[in-house]
Structure 1
């Protein structure tokens, strides 16, 4: 009878690093456009407070505040609105505000007036946030 010979299970440093790099990239990719719990798409995520000058928000447009996960718009003069800046389609941050709030990941567009979907693939509106105006400053909670 032939004795059992255990196969050599060594792994090269290069293979180990390549595998670890692929795993890290996969986790990073999943976290970039996904979410769950409090960070679910459209929930507002772990948004912090935002402060800005009212003059920073163009009438008929708006501005994205990435650090606070907020987008502030001014559909008509003196009427300020705020929404989550996290797209409800795949959890990507919206990129810009023109006459709509635009997500460049997959092309969704939202109304600057109420955050409703203007163009998919998103099917849910952006979550509303509370904006408070005091003189020439505004804050979003």
Structure 2
């Protein structure tokens, strides 16, 4: 039987190979992640801090349907973790004091590299900028601007996009 019009054996094999590679990559990323799938799209304006005692509102079930960024228990007090928002952008979630969760962009304000948690600080591996994990403010440059806030909320022990 001849192949379907417009589809060669080579094209079919490329498609199957790409789909398999994509599935392996997604599975690998999910296995290495410390956070769940992100929730709603985009970032929200605001302070970036969330009140973990907030029991939610009438739409408390919406967070479970969209996915959590992380669990509060996974964020060290006085430190931070890396996560990804619903748009696939890198973010930082910190817990400066027990029960206070702060979100911020993980994109360095100097030249756009991704900063990494390092105890009470966030380090930019590209040019050496250092930020406070507690609030994203600049400790040392070359970055002169703080990391932008990323609004989060806490429901049932999970950190969600606000």
TM-score range, shorter chain: 0.5 to 0.7
Partner of 1:117: 138
CA deviation string 1:91-130 (max 9, x = no partner): 0011223111111111111112221101111000000010
In structure 2, the residue corresponding to 1:90 is in which secondary structure? coil
Q: Return the alpha-carbon distance in structure 1 between the equivalents of residues 118 and 156 of structure 2.
A: 23
CA deviation string 1:28-80 (max 9, x = no partner): xxxxxxxxxxxxxxxxxx76x86211111000001011543210000000011
Q: Is the 8 A contact 2:79 2:117 kept in 1?
A: no
| Between structures 1 and 2, the one with greater strand share | 1
Q: Return the alpha-carbon distance in structure 2 between the equivalents of residues 72 and 140 of structure 1.
A: 11
Task: Identify unmatched segments of 5+ residues in structure 1.
Answer: 1-45
Q: How many residues align?
A: 96
In structure 2, the residue corresponding to 1:81 is in which secondary structure? strand
Root-mean-square deviation (Å): 2.1
Partner of 1:99: 120
Point out which structure has higher relative CO (alpha carbons under 8 A, 6+ apart): 2
TM-score, structure 1 normalization = 0.61
Change (3 A) 1:110 1:50: farther
Q: Return the alpha-carbon distance in structure 1 between the equivalents of residues 68 and 89 of structure 2.
A: 6
> After TM superposition, what 4+ stretches of structure 1 lie above 6 angstroms from structure 2?
none
Q: How does 1:1-141 map to 2 (within 5 A)?
A: 51-66=69-84, 67-141=88-162
In structure 1, the residue corresponding to 2:104 is in which secondary structure? strand
Which has the larger Rg? 1
In structure 1, the residue corresponding to 2:69 is in which secondary structure? strand
Task: Identify unmatched segments of 5+ residues in structure 2.
Answer: 1-41, 44-66
